Chains A and B, each alone.
Chain A
Amino acid sequence: MSTATGHESALEEVLAAAAAHAEQADEAAEFPTAALDAMRATGLLGLLVPAEHGGGGGGLDDLVDVTLRLARVDMSVALIFAMHCQQVVVVVRHAEGPFAERLLPELGKGDVYLASVTTEHGKGGHLLSSESTVRQDAGTLTIDRDAPIVTGGQHADAYLITTLAPDATSPAQVSLVYARRDQLTLEVRGGWQPLGMRATQSVPMRLTGRVPADQVIGASGKFREIVAPTFGPLAHIGWSAAWLGAATGALSRILHHIRDAGRGQFDPSSELLLTRLARIRGRLDLVNALLRHTVAAVQGSPDVADPSTQLLVNSLKVHAAEQCFAAADEMVELVGLRHGYLRSSPLYLERVFRDLRSASLNYANDRLLLVNGALTLRDRQVHLA
Protein backbone atom coordinates (compact mmCIF):
# COMPACT_ATOMS: atom_id res chain seq x y z
CA MET A 1 0.00 0.00 0.00
CA SER A 2 1.61 3.21 -1.08
CA THR A 3 -0.85 6.06 -1.00
CA ALA A 4 -4.25 6.92 0.35
CA THR A 5 -5.88 6.03 -2.97
CA GLY A 6 -3.97 2.75 -3.10
CA HIS A 7 -5.93 1.18 -0.28
CA GLU A 8 -9.29 1.00 -2.07
CA SER A 9 -8.97 -2.69 -2.93
CA ALA A 10 -7.82 -3.46 0.64
CA LEU A 11 -10.83 -1.63 1.98
CA GLU A 12 -13.20 -3.50 -0.36
CA GLU A 13 -11.83 -6.78 0.96
CA VAL A 14 -12.29 -5.76 4.58
CA LEU A 15 -15.80 -4.43 3.86
CA ALA A 16 -16.80 -7.71 2.25
CA ALA A 17 -15.55 -9.69 5.26
CA ALA A 18 -17.27 -7.30 7.66
CA ALA A 19 -20.58 -7.47 5.79
CA ALA A 20 -20.54 -11.27 5.62
CA HIS A 21 -20.21 -11.67 9.39
CA ALA A 22 -21.71 -8.50 10.90
CA GLU A 23 -25.07 -10.00 11.85
CA GLN A 24 -23.49 -13.07 13.44
CA ALA A 25 -20.84 -11.03 15.29
CA ASP A 26 -23.56 -8.79 16.73
CA GLU A 27 -25.78 -11.72 17.64
CA ALA A 28 -23.02 -13.57 19.49
CA ALA A 29 -21.11 -10.48 20.73
CA GLU A 30 -18.06 -12.00 19.04
CA PHE A 31 -15.05 -10.25 17.61
CA PRO A 32 -15.18 -9.79 13.81
CA THR A 33 -12.18 -12.04 13.20
CA ALA A 34 -12.77 -12.29 9.43
CA ALA A 35 -12.66 -8.51 9.11
CA LEU A 36 -9.53 -8.34 11.28
CA ASP A 37 -7.89 -11.11 9.22
CA ALA A 38 -8.66 -9.09 6.09
CA MET A 39 -7.17 -5.96 7.69
CA ARG A 40 -4.01 -7.91 8.46
CA ALA A 41 -3.84 -9.66 5.08
CA THR A 42 -4.28 -6.43 3.11
CA GLY A 43 -1.97 -4.39 5.33
CA LEU A 44 -4.74 -1.91 6.08
CA LEU A 45 -3.63 -1.90 9.72
CA GLY A 46 -0.51 -0.06 8.55
CA LEU A 47 -2.47 2.78 6.95
CA LEU A 48 -1.17 5.47 9.33
CA VAL A 49 2.44 4.31 9.47
CA PRO A 50 4.69 6.64 7.42
CA ALA A 51 5.79 5.30 4.04
CA GLU A 52 9.47 5.36 5.04
CA HIS A 53 8.67 2.57 7.50
CA GLY A 54 6.76 0.60 4.86
CA GLY A 55 3.32 1.80 5.92
CA GLY A 56 0.45 3.34 4.02
CA GLY A 57 1.57 6.90 4.72
CA GLY A 58 -1.99 7.95 5.45
CA GLY A 59 -3.08 10.94 7.52
CA LEU A 60 -6.05 11.84 9.68
CA ASP A 61 -8.26 12.39 6.62
CA ASP A 62 -7.53 8.84 5.48
CA LEU A 63 -8.33 7.53 8.94
CA VAL A 64 -11.67 9.37 8.82
CA ASP A 65 -12.48 8.21 5.27
CA VAL A 66 -11.76 4.53 5.95
CA THR A 67 -13.52 4.56 9.33
CA LEU A 68 -16.63 6.16 7.77
CA ARG A 69 -16.74 3.48 5.07
CA LEU A 70 -16.31 0.61 7.54
CA ALA A 71 -18.96 1.99 9.89
CA ARG A 72 -21.58 2.12 7.14
CA VAL A 73 -21.41 -1.68 7.28
CA ASP A 74 -20.48 -2.42 10.90
CA MET A 75 -19.82 0.19 13.57
CA SER A 76 -17.91 -2.30 15.74
CA VAL A 77 -15.41 -3.01 12.95
CA ALA A 78 -14.97 0.74 12.44
CA LEU A 79 -14.33 1.33 16.15
CA ILE A 80 -11.79 -1.50 16.22
CA PHE A 81 -9.96 -0.04 13.23
CA ALA A 82 -10.05 3.56 14.48
CA MET A 83 -8.80 2.66 17.96
CA HIS A 84 -6.02 0.55 16.47
CA CYS A 85 -4.99 3.56 14.34
CA GLN A 86 -5.02 5.75 17.44
CA GLN A 87 -2.45 3.40 19.02
CA VAL A 88 -0.37 3.39 15.82
CA VAL A 89 -0.21 7.18 15.72
CA VAL A 90 0.85 7.25 19.38
CA VAL A 91 3.78 4.97 18.50
CA VAL A 92 4.65 6.91 15.34
CA ARG A 93 4.72 10.27 17.14
CA HIS A 94 5.98 9.38 20.59
CA ALA A 95 8.13 6.22 20.49
CA GLU A 96 11.84 7.02 20.41
CA GLY A 97 15.27 5.49 19.98
CA PRO A 98 16.24 1.97 18.91
CA PHE A 99 12.92 0.54 20.12
CA ALA A 100 11.01 2.83 17.74
CA GLU A 101 13.36 1.96 14.88
CA ARG A 102 12.61 -1.73 15.39
CA LEU A 103 8.89 -1.33 15.98
CA LEU A 104 7.83 1.05 13.21
CA PRO A 105 8.77 -1.26 10.31
CA GLU A 106 6.85 -4.06 12.07
CA LEU A 107 3.75 -1.87 12.28
CA GLY A 108 4.37 -0.69 8.71
CA LYS A 109 3.73 -4.20 7.39
CA GLY A 110 0.15 -3.66 8.51
CA ASP A 111 -0.45 -7.08 10.04
CA VAL A 112 -0.02 -6.14 13.71
CA TYR A 113 -3.23 -5.35 15.58
CA LEU A 114 -2.78 -3.08 18.63
CA ALA A 115 -5.16 -2.99 21.56
CA SER A 116 -5.40 -0.25 24.17
CA VAL A 117 -5.38 -1.00 27.90
CA THR A 118 -6.28 2.18 29.78
CA THR A 119 -9.29 1.28 31.94
CA GLU A 120 -8.94 0.37 35.61
CA HIS A 121 -11.45 -0.81 38.17
CA GLY A 122 -10.75 2.05 40.55
CA LYS A 123 -10.89 4.93 38.07
CA GLY A 124 -12.94 3.76 35.09
CA GLY A 125 -11.83 5.48 31.92
CA HIS A 126 -9.96 8.39 33.52
CA LEU A 127 -6.70 8.53 31.59
CA LEU A 128 -4.41 10.68 33.66
CA SER A 129 -4.18 8.64 36.83
CA SER A 130 -3.41 5.03 37.61
CA GLU A 131 -3.41 2.62 40.52
CA SER A 132 -1.52 -0.12 38.66
CA THR A 133 2.01 -0.45 39.95
CA VAL A 134 4.93 -1.70 37.92
CA ARG A 135 8.27 -3.00 39.22
CA GLN A 136 11.51 -2.10 37.48
CA ASP A 137 14.71 -4.06 38.02
CA ALA A 138 17.75 -4.46 35.79
CA GLY A 139 16.16 -2.88 32.74
CA THR A 140 12.97 -4.93 32.98
CA LEU A 141 9.44 -3.84 33.81
CA THR A 142 7.19 -6.35 35.55
CA ILE A 143 3.55 -5.72 34.66
CA ASP A 144 0.48 -7.03 36.45
CA ARG A 145 -2.47 -5.15 35.03
CA ASP A 146 -6.16 -5.71 35.63
CA ALA A 147 -8.43 -3.91 33.13
CA PRO A 148 -12.24 -4.06 33.12
CA ILE A 149 -12.57 -3.27 29.41
CA VAL A 150 -10.08 -4.15 26.65
CA THR A 151 -11.49 -3.86 23.13
CA GLY A 152 -10.22 -6.78 21.06
CA GLY A 153 -8.07 -7.92 23.96
CA GLN A 154 -8.26 -11.60 23.03
CA HIS A 155 -7.20 -10.93 19.43
CA ALA A 156 -4.51 -8.26 19.67
CA ASP A 157 -0.90 -8.87 18.65
CA ALA A 158 0.36 -6.19 21.03
CA TYR A 159 -0.94 -3.84 23.71
CA LEU A 160 -0.36 -0.25 24.80
CA ILE A 161 -0.87 -0.33 28.55
CA THR A 162 -1.09 2.52 31.03
CA THR A 163 0.55 1.88 34.40
CA LEU A 164 2.09 3.92 37.15
CA ALA A 165 5.71 4.85 36.51
CA PRO A 166 8.02 2.49 38.44
CA ASP A 167 9.19 5.27 40.77
CA ALA A 168 5.84 7.06 40.93
CA THR A 169 5.16 9.18 43.99
CA SER A 170 1.66 10.13 42.82
CA PRO A 171 -1.20 8.41 40.92
CA ALA A 172 -0.77 11.07 38.20
CA GLN A 173 2.65 9.75 37.11
CA VAL A 174 1.34 7.45 34.39
CA SER A 175 3.51 5.63 31.85
CA LEU A 176 2.48 4.05 28.56
CA VAL A 177 4.09 0.65 28.03
CA TYR A 178 4.19 -1.37 24.80
CA ALA A 179 3.95 -5.12 25.25
CA ARG A 180 3.82 -7.83 22.60
CA ARG A 181 1.42 -10.67 23.05
CA ASP A 182 4.30 -13.14 23.49
CA GLN A 183 5.66 -11.04 26.37
CA LEU A 184 2.44 -11.39 28.34
CA THR A 185 0.23 -13.94 30.00
CA LEU A 186 -3.38 -13.06 29.22
CA GLU A 187 -6.33 -14.04 31.32
CA VAL A 188 -9.91 -13.20 30.34
CA ARG A 189 -11.73 -12.48 33.57
CA GLY A 190 -15.33 -12.22 32.47
CA GLY A 191 -17.81 -11.94 29.67
CA TRP A 192 -19.02 -9.21 27.36
CA GLN A 193 -22.77 -8.89 26.97
CA PRO A 194 -23.56 -5.26 26.08
CA LEU A 195 -26.50 -3.53 24.39
CA GLY A 196 -24.55 -2.36 21.36
CA MET A 197 -21.10 -2.27 19.74
CA ARG A 198 -21.22 -5.93 20.61
CA ALA A 199 -18.60 -7.10 18.12
CA THR A 200 -15.90 -5.00 19.81
CA GLN A 201 -15.78 -7.81 22.41
CA SER A 202 -14.33 -5.51 25.05
CA VAL A 203 -13.63 -8.07 27.75
CA PRO A 204 -12.19 -7.67 31.24
CA MET A 205 -8.60 -8.93 31.27
CA ARG A 206 -5.55 -9.43 33.42
CA LEU A 207 -2.22 -8.94 31.68
CA THR A 208 0.96 -10.08 33.41
CA GLY A 209 4.51 -10.25 32.11
CA ARG A 210 7.96 -8.74 31.86
CA VAL A 211 9.06 -6.33 29.13
CA PRO A 212 12.31 -4.45 28.50
CA ALA A 213 12.21 -1.00 30.11
CA ASP A 214 12.87 0.65 26.73
CA GLN A 215 9.35 -0.31 25.64
CA VAL A 216 7.92 2.73 27.43
CA ILE A 217 6.37 5.09 24.86
CA GLY A 218 7.38 8.69 25.58
CA ALA A 219 8.94 9.66 28.88
CA SER A 220 8.37 7.55 31.98
CA GLY A 221 5.46 8.93 34.00
CA LYS A 222 4.59 11.45 31.28
CA PHE A 223 1.62 9.83 29.50
CA ARG A 224 -0.10 13.21 29.97
CA GLU A 225 2.21 14.61 27.27
CA ILE A 226 0.84 12.02 24.83
CA VAL A 227 -2.83 12.45 25.75
CA ALA A 228 -3.26 16.14 24.88
CA PRO A 229 -1.65 16.22 21.42
CA THR A 230 -2.35 12.66 20.23
CA PHE A 231 -4.28 10.17 22.34
CA GLY A 232 -7.29 12.40 23.01
CA PRO A 233 -7.72 13.97 19.55
CA LEU A 234 -7.24 10.63 17.76
CA ALA A 235 -9.83 8.95 19.99
CA HIS A 236 -12.45 11.63 19.45
CA ILE A 237 -11.83 11.96 15.71
CA GLY A 238 -11.84 8.19 15.19
CA TRP A 239 -14.91 7.53 17.31
CA SER A 240 -16.84 10.41 15.71
CA ALA A 241 -16.06 9.02 12.26
CA ALA A 242 -17.34 5.61 13.34
CA TRP A 243 -20.59 7.08 14.71
CA LEU A 244 -21.15 9.28 11.67
CA GLY A 245 -20.47 6.35 9.35
CA ALA A 246 -22.96 4.15 11.18
CA ALA A 247 -25.69 6.80 10.95
CA THR A 248 -24.83 7.55 7.32
CA GLY A 249 -25.08 3.90 6.34
CA ALA A 250 -28.44 3.63 8.06
CA LEU A 251 -29.84 6.65 6.24
CA SER A 252 -28.55 5.33 2.93
CA ARG A 253 -30.31 1.99 3.45
CA ILE A 254 -33.54 3.81 4.31
CA LEU A 255 -33.33 5.92 1.17
CA HIS A 256 -32.73 2.87 -1.02
CA HIS A 257 -35.70 1.24 0.66
CA ILE A 258 -37.97 4.24 0.09
CA ARG A 259 -36.96 4.49 -3.55
CA ASP A 260 -37.19 0.75 -4.16
CA ALA A 261 -38.81 -2.10 -2.18
CA GLY A 262 -40.64 0.17 0.25
CA ARG A 263 -41.94 2.52 -2.40
CA GLY A 264 -45.54 1.65 -1.66
CA GLN A 265 -45.28 2.56 2.03
CA PHE A 266 -43.85 6.05 1.55
CA ASP A 267 -45.42 9.02 -0.19
CA PRO A 268 -42.85 11.44 -1.62
CA SER A 269 -45.40 14.26 -1.35
CA SER A 270 -45.68 13.72 2.41
CA GLU A 271 -44.47 16.84 4.17
CA LEU A 272 -43.80 14.81 7.31
CA LEU A 273 -41.52 12.43 5.38
CA LEU A 274 -39.65 15.27 3.69
CA THR A 275 -39.07 17.35 6.82
CA ARG A 276 -37.98 14.31 8.83
CA LEU A 277 -35.54 13.28 6.13
CA ALA A 278 -34.22 16.83 6.00
CA ARG A 279 -33.68 16.91 9.78
CA ILE A 280 -31.85 13.58 9.78
CA ARG A 281 -29.70 14.52 6.83
CA GLY A 282 -28.98 17.89 8.46
CA ARG A 283 -27.67 16.24 11.63
CA LEU A 284 -25.24 14.18 9.58
CA ASP A 285 -24.08 17.23 7.61
CA LEU A 286 -23.48 19.06 10.90
CA VAL A 287 -21.35 16.27 12.34
CA ASN A 288 -19.46 15.86 9.08
CA ALA A 289 -18.67 19.58 8.97
CA LEU A 290 -17.50 19.57 12.58
CA LEU A 291 -15.45 16.40 12.06
CA ARG A 292 -13.69 17.71 8.96
CA HIS A 293 -13.07 21.10 10.52
CA THR A 294 -11.65 19.51 13.67
CA VAL A 295 -9.25 17.39 11.61
CA ALA A 296 -8.08 20.53 9.79
CA ALA A 297 -7.72 22.47 13.06
CA VAL A 298 -5.77 19.69 14.74
CA GLN A 299 -3.45 19.38 11.75
CA GLY A 300 -3.00 23.14 11.47
CA SER A 301 -2.56 23.93 15.14
CA PRO A 302 0.99 24.62 16.33
CA ASP A 303 -0.07 23.59 19.83
CA VAL A 304 -2.87 21.03 19.99
CA ALA A 305 -2.94 21.46 23.77
CA ASP A 306 -4.11 25.07 23.50
CA PRO A 307 -7.57 25.54 25.02
CA SER A 308 -9.34 26.43 21.75
CA THR A 309 -8.26 23.22 20.01
CA GLN A 310 -8.95 21.09 23.08
CA LEU A 311 -12.43 22.62 23.36
CA LEU A 312 -13.10 21.86 19.70
CA VAL A 313 -11.89 18.27 19.89
CA ASN A 314 -14.00 17.59 22.99
CA SER A 315 -17.02 19.34 21.44
CA LEU A 316 -16.70 17.16 18.35
CA LYS A 317 -16.97 14.03 20.48
CA VAL A 318 -19.97 15.32 22.48
CA HIS A 319 -21.88 16.59 19.43
CA ALA A 320 -21.11 13.58 17.24
CA ALA A 321 -22.35 11.25 19.98
CA GLU A 322 -25.55 13.24 20.53
CA GLN A 323 -26.36 14.03 16.90
CA CYS A 324 -25.66 10.56 15.48
CA PHE A 325 -27.77 8.85 18.13
CA ALA A 326 -30.56 11.42 17.66
CA ALA A 327 -30.43 10.75 13.92
CA ALA A 328 -30.72 6.99 14.52
CA ASP A 329 -33.67 7.56 16.86
CA GLU A 330 -35.43 9.70 14.24
CA MET A 331 -34.74 7.09 11.57
CA VAL A 332 -36.43 4.42 13.68
CA GLU A 333 -39.43 6.72 14.06
CA LEU A 334 -39.46 7.45 10.34
CA VAL A 335 -39.58 3.87 9.08
CA GLY A 336 -41.72 2.47 11.88
CA LEU A 337 -41.86 -0.75 13.84
CA ARG A 338 -41.19 -3.35 11.20
CA HIS A 339 -38.07 -1.86 9.70
CA GLY A 340 -37.00 0.31 12.60
CA TYR A 341 -37.39 -2.03 15.53
CA LEU A 342 -37.20 -5.61 14.32
CA ARG A 343 -33.87 -7.35 14.21
CA SER A 344 -34.91 -9.21 11.06
CA SER A 345 -35.10 -6.07 8.90
CA PRO A 346 -32.45 -5.85 6.17
CA LEU A 347 -32.12 -2.16 7.10
CA TYR A 348 -30.76 -3.26 10.53
CA LEU A 349 -31.64 0.08 12.14
CA GLU A 350 -32.21 -1.74 15.40
CA ARG A 351 -28.52 -2.68 15.54
CA VAL A 352 -27.33 0.81 14.59
CA PHE A 353 -29.61 2.31 17.26
CA ARG A 354 -28.10 0.00 19.90
CA ASP A 355 -24.58 0.65 18.63
CA LEU A 356 -25.00 4.42 18.72
CA ARG A 357 -26.44 4.44 22.23
CA SER A 358 -22.88 3.72 23.38
CA ALA A 359 -21.49 6.93 21.89
CA SER A 360 -22.22 9.29 24.77
CA LEU A 361 -20.92 6.72 27.28
CA ASN A 362 -17.73 5.77 25.46
CA TYR A 363 -15.62 8.23 27.44
CA ALA A 364 -18.60 9.94 29.05
CA ASN A 365 -19.90 13.15 27.53
CA ASP A 366 -20.49 14.46 31.06
CA ARG A 367 -16.79 14.19 31.84
CA LEU A 368 -15.83 16.07 28.69
CA LEU A 369 -18.40 18.78 29.39
CA LEU A 370 -16.83 19.39 32.82
CA VAL A 371 -13.43 19.83 31.19
CA ASN A 372 -14.89 22.08 28.50
CA GLY A 373 -16.65 24.23 31.09
CA ALA A 374 -13.36 24.82 32.87
CA LEU A 375 -11.55 25.52 29.59
CA THR A 376 -14.28 27.95 28.51
CA LEU A 377 -13.68 30.02 31.64
CA ARG A 378 -10.00 30.29 30.66
CA ASP A 379 -10.79 31.90 27.31
CA ARG A 380 -12.66 35.16 27.91
CA GLN A 381 -11.99 36.30 24.35
CA VAL A 382 -13.66 33.15 23.02
CA HIS A 383 -11.03 32.26 20.42
CA LEU A 384 -12.78 29.73 18.22
CA ALA A 385 -10.39 27.20 16.70
Chain B
Amino acid sequence: MDAAFPDLLKPFLKYAGTQPITAEASLNELGLDSMRAIELLFTIEDTYGVSMPDELLTDSTFATAGSLWNTIESLRGRAA
Protein backbone atom coordinates (compact mmCIF):
# COMPACT_ATOMS: atom_id res chain seq x y z
CA MET B 1 0.00 0.00 0.00
CA ASP B 2 1.07 3.51 -0.79
CA ALA B 3 1.99 5.32 2.44
CA ALA B 4 -0.58 8.02 1.74
CA PHE B 5 -3.44 5.56 1.23
CA PRO B 6 -4.34 5.03 4.92
CA ASP B 7 -4.55 8.81 5.33
CA LEU B 8 -6.94 8.99 2.38
CA LEU B 9 -9.10 6.26 3.97
CA LYS B 10 -9.22 7.65 7.49
CA PRO B 11 -11.92 10.34 7.07
CA PHE B 12 -14.33 7.65 5.85
CA LEU B 13 -13.72 5.26 8.77
CA LYS B 14 -15.56 6.53 11.83
CA TYR B 15 -14.11 3.86 14.14
CA ALA B 16 -10.49 4.06 12.93
CA GLY B 17 -9.35 6.15 15.88
CA THR B 18 -5.60 6.61 16.10
CA GLN B 19 -4.57 3.03 15.29
CA PRO B 20 -2.62 2.49 12.06
CA ILE B 21 -4.72 1.07 9.20
CA THR B 22 -3.19 -2.21 8.04
CA ALA B 23 -3.75 -3.94 4.71
CA GLU B 24 -5.74 -6.69 6.48
CA ALA B 25 -8.02 -4.31 8.37
CA SER B 26 -11.73 -4.83 7.64
CA LEU B 27 -13.12 -1.55 6.37
CA ASN B 28 -16.64 -2.40 7.58
CA GLU B 29 -15.31 -3.00 11.08
CA LEU B 30 -13.50 0.35 10.91
CA GLY B 31 -16.89 1.95 10.22
CA LEU B 32 -17.27 2.06 6.43
CA ASP B 33 -20.95 1.86 5.44
CA SER B 34 -22.62 2.07 2.03
CA MET B 35 -23.04 5.84 2.17
CA ARG B 36 -19.38 6.48 3.10
CA ALA B 37 -18.24 3.87 0.57
CA ILE B 38 -19.64 5.86 -2.33
CA GLU B 39 -17.93 9.03 -1.03
CA LEU B 40 -14.70 7.09 -0.72
CA LEU B 41 -15.10 5.82 -4.29
CA PHE B 42 -15.35 9.37 -5.66
CA THR B 43 -12.30 10.43 -3.66
CA ILE B 44 -10.27 7.45 -4.93
CA GLU B 45 -11.25 8.15 -8.55
CA ASP B 46 -10.30 11.82 -8.19
CA THR B 47 -7.03 11.12 -6.36
CA TYR B 48 -5.68 8.28 -8.48
CA GLY B 49 -7.23 9.21 -11.81
CA VAL B 50 -8.93 5.85 -12.20
CA SER B 51 -12.51 4.92 -13.01
CA MET B 52 -13.86 1.91 -11.20
CA PRO B 53 -16.21 -0.20 -13.32
CA ASP B 54 -19.53 -1.19 -11.75
CA GLU B 55 -18.59 -4.86 -11.58
CA LEU B 56 -15.72 -4.03 -9.20
CA LEU B 57 -17.99 -2.10 -6.83
CA THR B 58 -18.53 -5.16 -4.66
CA ASP B 59 -18.21 -5.96 -1.00
CA SER B 60 -15.04 -7.93 -1.74
CA THR B 61 -13.36 -4.89 -3.37
CA PHE B 62 -14.16 -2.78 -0.32
CA ALA B 63 -13.48 -5.60 2.20
CA THR B 64 -10.06 -4.45 3.40
CA ALA B 65 -7.62 -1.61 2.83
CA GLY B 66 -5.44 -4.12 0.96
CA SER B 67 -8.19 -5.39 -1.37
CA LEU B 68 -9.13 -1.82 -2.22
CA TRP B 69 -5.53 -0.85 -2.85
CA ASN B 70 -4.99 -3.89 -5.09
CA THR B 71 -8.05 -2.91 -7.12
CA ILE B 72 -6.72 0.63 -7.56
CA GLU B 73 -3.31 -0.73 -8.59
CA SER B 74 -4.79 -3.05 -11.18
CA LEU B 75 -6.83 -0.18 -12.63
CA ARG B 76 -3.74 2.04 -12.78
CA GLY B 77 -1.82 -0.76 -14.48
CA ARG B 78 -4.57 -0.98 -17.04
CA ALA B 79 -4.42 2.76 -17.66
CA ALA B 80 -0.59 2.85 -17.97
B is a partner of A: yes
Query: Which of B29, B31, B58 has the most chain A CB within a 10 Å cutoff?
Result: B29
- Chain B neighbourhood of A221, CB < 8 A: 29
Q: Which of A173, A305, A307, A373 touches B57 (beta carbons < 8 Å)?
A: A307
Q: Is A379 an interface residue (CB 8 A)?
A: yes
Q: Is A377 an interface residue (CB 8 A)?
A: yes
- In the assembly, what is the distance between CA of A221 and CA of B28, in Å? 11
Q: Is B7 an interface residue (CB 8 A)?
A: no
Task: Quote the shortest CB–CB distance from B16 to chain A (angstroms).
Answer: 9
Q: Which of B15, B34, B57 touches A172 (beta carbons < 8 Å)?
A: B15
- Chain B neighbourhood of A57, CB < 8 A: none
Q: SS class of chain B's interface: helix, strand, loop or mixed?
A: loop
- Chain B neighbourhood of A171, CB < 8 A: 15, 31
Give the number of chain A interface residues (Cβ < 8 Å): 21
Whether the Cβ atoms of A378 and B15 lie closer than 8 Å is: no
Give the number of chain B interface residues (Cβ < 8 Å): 15
Q: Is B35 an interface residue (CB 8 A)?
A: yes
- Chain B neighbourhood of A273, CB < 8 A: none
Whether the Cβ atoms of B54 and A172 lie closer than 8 Å is: no
Whether the Cβ atoms of A170 and B34 lie closer than 8 Å is: no
Q: Is A381 an interface residue (CB 8 A)?
A: yes
Task: Knowing A170-B15, A381-B54 are in contact, say whether A370-B35 is a contact too (CB < 8 A).
Answer: yes
Within 8 A of B (CB), among A339-385: 370-371, 373-375, 377-381
Whether the Cβ atoms of A378 and B31 lie closer than 8 Å is: no
Q: SS class of chain A's interface: helix, strand, loop or mixed?
A: loop
Q: Which of B28, B37, B54, B57 touches A224 (beta carbons < 8 Å)?
A: B28
> Which single residue of chain A is at the shortest CB-CB distance from B32?
A172
- Chain A neighbourhood of B31, CB < 8 A: 170-172
- In the assembly, what is the distance between CA of A128 and CA of B27, in Å? 13
Task: Knowing A305-B59, A380-B54, A381-B54 are in contact, say whether A172-B38 is a contact too (CB < 8 A).
Answer: no
- In the assembly, what is the distance between CA of A87 and CA of B35, in Å? 27
Task: Quote the shortest CB–CB distance from B39 to chain A (angstroms).
Answer: 9
Q: Which of B15, B28, B30, B37 touches A374 (beta carbons < 8 Å)?
A: B37
- In the assembly, what is the distance between CA of A170 and CA of B30, in Å? 7
Interface string of A288-316 (1 = CB under 8 A from B): 00000000000000000111000000000
- In the assembly, what is the distance between CA of A379 and CA of B58, in Å? 10
Q: Which of A128, A170, A173, A377 touches B38 (beta carbons < 8 Å)?
A: A377
- Chain A neighbourhood of B54, CB < 8 A: 378-381
- Contact sample, A vs B, 12 pairs, CB 8 Å cutoff: A128-B33, A170-B29, A173-B29, A221-B29, A307-B57, A370-B35, A371-B34, A371-B35, A374-B37, A378-B54, A378-B57, A380-B54
In the A-B complex, the 4 residue pairs with the closest CB atoms: A170-B15, A378-B57, A374-B38, A374-B34
